[in-house]
Amino acid sequence: MIPAPFDYEVAESVEHAVELLGSREDAKVLAGGHSLIPLLRLRFTRPALLVDIGRIDELRYVRDAGDKLAIGGMTRHHNVQHDPLVQEHCPVLSYAAGLIGDPQVRHRGTIGGSLAHADPAADFPAVLTALEAEVVIRGPEGERTVPVGEFVTGVFDTVLRPQDVLTEIRVPKLGPTGWSYLKFTRRAQDWATVGVTAIVRRSNGTVDSAAIALTNMAPKPVRAKAAEQALTTPNDIEAAAEASLEGTDPPSDTQGSADYRRHLARVLVRRALGEAISS
Amino acid sequence: MLALSFSLCRKELAVGQVSITVNGAEHILELEPRELLVYVLRERLGLTGTNVGCDTSSCGACTVLLDGESVKSCTLLGVQVDGHEITTIEGLATNGTMHPVQEAFHEQHGLQCGYCTPGFIMAAVSLLDETPNPSEEEIRHALEGNLCRCTGYQNIVRAVQAAAGVEV
Amino acid sequence: MATITELEVGRVVGAPLDRKEDAALLTGQAKFVDDMSLPGMVWMAVVRSPYAHARIAMVNVDGALAHRGVIAAFSGDELADEWQASLPCAWLPTEDTAQPNHRPLAVDEARYVGDGVAVVIAESRSEARDAAELVQIDYDPLPTVIDAEKALEDGSPLVHEEFGTNRCYTWNLATGEVDEEFAKADVTVKERYRQQRLIPNAIEPRGVIVQPFPATGELTMWSSTQVPHIARVTLSMVTGVPEAKLRVVAPAVGGGFGSKLNVYAEEALALVLARRLGRPIKWIEQRSEGYQSTTHGRDQIQEIELAATSEGKIRAVRAKLTVNFGAYLQLVTAGTPLLGAWLYSGAYDVAAYDFECTGVFTNTTPTDAYRGAGRPEATYAIERAVDALARKLGKDPLEIRRLNFLREFPATIASGLTVDSGDYDAHLDAALEILDHDDIRRQQSERRERGDTKQVGIGFSTYLEMCGLAPSRVLGAIRYGAGGWDAATIRFLPTGTVQVLIGTSPHGQSHVTTFSQIVAERLGIPYDDVEVLHGDTAVAPLGMDTYGSRSLTVGGVAAYHAAERIIDKARKIAAHQLEVGEDELEYENGTFSGNGNSLTTKELALQAWTAHNLPDGMEPGLEASFVYDPPNFSWPSGTHIAVVEVDTETGDVDLIRYVAVDDVGSVINPRVVEGQIHGGVAQGIAQALWEEAVYDEDGNLVTGSMMNYMVPSAAELPSYELGRTETPSPTNPLGVKGVGETGTIASTAAVMNAVVDALVPFGVTDLDMPATPERVWRALEEART
CA distance A267 to A271: 6
Sheet with A165-172: list strands edge to edge.
A62-65, A68-72, A165-172, A134-139, A142-147
By three-state DSSP, how is residue C149 classified?
helix
Asked if residue A72 and residue A43 are part of one domain, the reply reads: no
Residue C747 host element (H or E): helix C742-759
Closest Cα partner for C643 from C492, C507, C441, C488?
C441
Across the range C287-310, mean pLDDT stands at 98
pLDDT for the residue numbered B13: 59
- A5 vs B34: CA distance, rounded Å: 6
**C483 CB burial (10 A radius; 0-12, 13-18, 19+):** middle
Q: For residue C275, which of C212, C336, C335 has the smallest C-alpha distance? A: C212
Q: Which CATH number do you get for residue A227?
A: 3.30.390.50
| Averaged pLDDT for residues A259-270 | 98
Domain annotation covers residue A57: no
Q: How far apart are CA B20 and CA A263, in angstroms?
A: 50
Closest CA of chain A from B155, distance in Å? 20
Where residue C299 falls (left for φ over 0; alpha for ψ -120 to 50; beta otherwise) is: left
Taking the Cβ of residue A269 and every Cβ of chain C, the question of whether any pair is shorter than 8 Å is answered with: no
Contact status, residue B123 vs residue B131, Cβ threshold 8 Å:
no
Strand positions, DSSP E, A53-205: 62-65, 68-72, 134-139, 142-147, 152-154, 157-158, 165-172, 178-184, 194-203
Q: How confident is the model at residue B15 (pLDDT cuts 50, 70, 90)?
A: confident
Mean pLDDT score of chain C, rounded to an integer?
Answer: 97
Instruction: Find the chain A residues whose C-beta atoms sit closer than 8 A to any C-beta of B.
Output: 1-10, 12, 30, 33-34, 37-38, 40-42, 49-50, 52, 54-55, 78, 101-105, 107-108, 187-189
Reported as a pLDDT band with limits 50, 70 and 90, residue C289 is: very high
Coil/strand/helix, residue A5: coil
Residue B112: the pLDDT is 98
pLDDT at res. B6:
55
A106 or A2: which leads in pLDDT: A106
Confidence of residue C313 (pLDDT cuts 50, 70, 90): very high
* Cα–Cα dist A35/A122, whole Å: 10
Phi and psi at residue C110, to the nearest 5°: -100, 140
d(CA C645, CA C443): 11
Share of chain A residues as helix, strand and coil, in percent rounded to the nearest 5: 35, 30, 35
Question: CB under 8 Å to B78, separation ≥6 — which residues?
Answer: B18, B20, B29, B31, B35, B36, B37, B39, B40, B44
How high is the pLDDT of residue C140?
98
pLDDT at C418 over 70: yes
C203 and B61: CB-CB below 8 Å? Answer: yes
Contacts A193 to C, Cβ<8 Å: 773
Alpha carbons B150 and C679: distance in angstroms, whole number: 5
Q: How far apart are CA A93 and CA A115, in angstroms?
A: 13
Q: Which amino acid is at B118?
A: P
Between CA A92 and CA A180 the distance in angstroms is: 7
Chain B window 146-165: which residues touch C at a Cβ cutoff of 8 Å? 146-157
Run of H or E residues at C533: strand C530-533
Q: Is A272 left (phi over 0), alpha (psi -120 to 50) or beta?
A: alpha
One domain, residues A138 and A72: yes
The rounded distance, in Å, linking the Cα atoms of C585 and B123 is 57
CA-nearest of B75, B61, B77, B117 to A106 is B75
User: Is this prediction's ipTM beyond 0.90?
Assistant: yes
Q: Mark yes or no for CB contact B111/C705 under 8 Å.
A: no
User: Measured between CB atoms, which of A2, A193, A267 is closest to C125?
Assistant: A2
Q: Which amino acid, one-letter code, is at A225?
A: K
Q: Taking CB atoms and an 8 Å cutoff, what residues of chain C touch A5? A: 130
Q: Are C220 and C206 in contact (CB under 8 A)?
A: no
Contacts of residue B153, defined as CB under 8 A and 6 or more positions apart, other chains included, come to: B140, B143, C678, C682, C713, C714, C717
Residues A161 and A185 placed together within one structural domain of the fold: no
- Residue C225, C-beta contacts closer than 8 angstroms, at least 6 positions apart: C206, C231, C248, C250, C253, C256, C260, C262, C263, C267, C505
CA distance B60 to chain A (A): 8
**Quick check: bond before C88 cis, omega within 30?**
no
Q: Searching chain B, which residue's CA lies closest to the CA of residue A41? A: B55
Residue A1 confidence (pLDDT): 76
Residues of A in contact with C715 (CB under 8 A): 187-189
Q: Inform me whether the pLDDT recorded for C5 exceeds 70.
A: no
- Tell me the chain A residues in contact with residue C650 when contact means C-beta distances shorter than 8 Å: 184, 264, 267-268
pLDDT at C785 (0 to 100): 86
Distance from CA of A3 to the nearest CA of B (A): 6
pLDDT, position C565: 98
Cβ–Cβ contact A184 with C under 8 A: yes
User: Does B16-91 carry CATH code 3.40.50.10790?
Assistant: no
Interchain contact, C714 vs B153, CB within 8 Å? yes
Residue in B with minimal Cα distance to A53: B80
Cβ separation A260–C774 shorter than 8 A:
yes
Q: Note the CATH architecture for domain C421-465+634-785.
A: 2-Layer Sandwich (3.30)
A2 closest CB neighbour out of C129, C650, C707? C129
* Residue from B56, B75, B82 whose CB has the most chain A CBs within 10 Å, to mutate: B75
Name residues 21-60 of chain B within 8 A of A (Cβ). 32-34, 36, 39, 52, 55-58, 60
Q: Radius of gyration of chain B from Cα atoms?
A: 17
pLDDT band at C609 (very low <50, low <70, confident <90, very high): very high
Q: Which residue in C282, C286, C454, C649 has the most chain A C-beta atoms within 10 A of its own C-beta, making it the best mutation to test that interface?
A: C649
Q: What's the gap in Å between the CA of C255 and the closest CA on chain B?
A: 6
Distance from the B140 Cα atom to the nearest Cα atom in chain C, whole angstroms: 5
Query: Which among C68, C287, C507 has the least Cβ separation from residue B113?
Result: C507
User: Is A75 in the same domain as A164?
Assistant: yes
DSSP C248-301: EE--B----TTTTSS--HHHHHHHHHHHHH-S-EEEE--HHHHHHHS-BEEEEE
- Residue C629's φ and ψ, nearest 5 degrees, are -115, 115
The last residue of a domain, from among A172, A187, A205: A172
Q: Which of A184, A190, A255 sits opposite C650 (nearest CB)?
A: A184
| B36–A41 C-beta distance less than 8 A | yes
> What's the pLDDT at A195?
98
What pLDDT, on a 0 to 100 scale, did the predictor assign at position B96?
Answer: 85
Asked if residue C18 has pLDDT above 60, the reply is yes
> Does some domain include residue A106?
yes
pLDDT of residue A233: 86
Contact B8 A38 (CB under 8 A): no
Over the stretch C549-563, which tens digit does the pLDDT of each residue have? 999 999 999 999 999
Residue C6, pLDDT above cutoff 50? no
Q: What is the largest CA-CA distance in chain A?
A: 62
Rounded-to-integer distance, Cα C729 and Cα C347, Å: 16
Partner residue facing B111 (CB), from C26, C34, C35: C26
Each residue of A203-254: pLDDT tens digit? 888 899 999 999 999 999 999 999 999 998 888 999 999 999 999 999 999 9
Q: pLDDT value at position C7? A: 41
Stretch (H or E) spanning C722: strand C720-724
| Beta-carbon count within 10 A of C354 CB | 22
Q: Nearest residue on chain C to B152, judged by CA atoms?
A: C679
Region C83-101: mean pLDDT is 97
Q: Could you tell me if C126 and A2 are in contact, meaning their C-beta atoms sit under 8 angstroms apart?
A: yes
Q: Is pLDDT above 90 for A117?
A: yes
Q: Which residues pair with C419 in a beta bridge?
A: C411
* pLDDT confidence bin for B11, thresholds 50/70/90: very low
Task: With cut-offs at 50, 70 and 90, classify the pLDDT of residue B167.
Answer: confident
Give the β-pairing of C136-141 and C207-213: unpaired
Q: Residue B5: which pLDDT band, with cuts at 50, 70 and 90?
A: low
Are A7 and B66 in contact (CB < 8 Å)?
no
What value does the mean pLDDT take over residues C21-25? 98
Q: Which residues of C touch A272 (CB under 8 A)?
A: none
The residue out of A172, A201, A217 marking a domain boundary is: A172
Give, for C116, the enclosing helix (H) or strand (E): strand C116-122
Q: Convert the pLDDT of each residue in C118-171 to its tens digit.
A: 999 999 999 999 999 999 999 999 999 999 999 999 999 999 999 999 999 999
pLDDT at B4: 52
Start-to-end C-alpha separation, chain B: 47
DSSP assignment of B22-81: ETTEEEEEEE-TT-BHHHIIIIIS--TTS----SSS-S-TTEEEETTEEEEGGGSBGGGG
Mean pLDDT for all residues in chain B: 93
C506-520 pLDDT, tens digit each: 999 999 999 999 999
Mind listing the pLDDT tens digit for each residue in A20-79? Answer: 999 999 999 999 999 899 999 999 999 999 999 999 999 999 999 999 999 999 999 999
**Partner residue facing C713 (CB), from A43, A189, A260:** A189
Give the H or E element holding residue C46.
Answer: strand C42-48
Widest CA span of chain C, in angstroms? 90
Does the pLDDT of residue C296 top 70, yes or no?
A: yes
Q: Which domain holds residue A33?
A: 7-52
Would you call B134 an interface residue with chain C, using a CB distance cutoff of 8 Å?
no
Residue A58 pLDDT:
95
pLDDT for A239: 96
Q: Cα(A88)–Cα(A179) distance, rounded to whole angstroms? A: 13
Judging contacts by C-beta atoms under 8 Å, the chain C residues touching residue B136 are 719
- CB-CB: which of A2, A54, A103 is closest to B127? A103
Average pLDDT over residues C732-748: 98
The pLDDT value recorded for residue B168 is 82
Nearest CA distance, C202 vs chain B (angstrom): 6
CA distance A154 to B26: 44
Q: Is residue A1 part of a domain?
A: no
Binned at pLDDT 50, 70 and 90, residue A5 comes out as very high
What's the pLDDT tens digit per position in B16-74? 899 999 999 999 999 999 999 999 999 999 999 999 999 999 999 999 999 999 999 99
String of b and e for C608-625 (b: at least 16 CB within 10 Å)? bbeeeebeeeeeebbbbe
Chain A residues with beta carbon closer than 8 angstroms to that of C129: 1-2
Strand pairing class (A7-10; A49-52): parallel
Residues of A in contact with C287 (CB under 8 A): 1
Contacts with A33 from chain B: Cβ below 8 Å: 75-77, 80
Nearest by CB to residue C716, choosing from A5, A188, A193, is: A188
Distance of alpha carbon A148 from alpha carbon C237, whole angstroms: 64
**Could you tell me where the beta strands, DSSP code E, fall in C123-202?**
136-141, 167-175, 187-198
Structure-derived torsion over alpha carbons of residues C172, C178, C179, C185, reported in degrees to the nearest 10:
-140
Cα nearest neighbour of B141 on chain A: A188
pLDDT digits (tens, 9 = 90+) for A39-52: 999 999 999 999 99
What is the distance in angstroms between the Cα of C648 and the nearest Cα belonging to chain A? 11
Domain B100-163 matching CATH 1.10.10.10: the answer reads no
CB C254 within 8 A of CB B51: yes
Nearest alpha carbon to residue C729 among C490, C403, C465: C465
The pLDDT assigned to C693 comes to 98
Per the structure, the count of domains in chain A is 3
DSSP line for C352-377:
EEEEEEEEEE-SSPPB---TTTTHHH
Domain boundaries, chain B: 16-91, 100-163
A133: helix, strand or coil: coil
CATH number of C6-29+485-628: 3.30.365.10
Q: If DSSP codes are grouped into helix, strand and coil, which group holds residue B100?
A: helix
Tell me the chain C residues in contact with residue B157 when contact means C-beta distances shorter than 8 Å: 714, 719
Please answer whether residues C316 and C176 qualify as being in contact, where contact means their C-beta atoms are separated by less than 8 angstroms.
Answer: yes
Residues 6 or more apart in contact with residue C595 via CB below 8 angstroms:
C578, C579, C580, C584
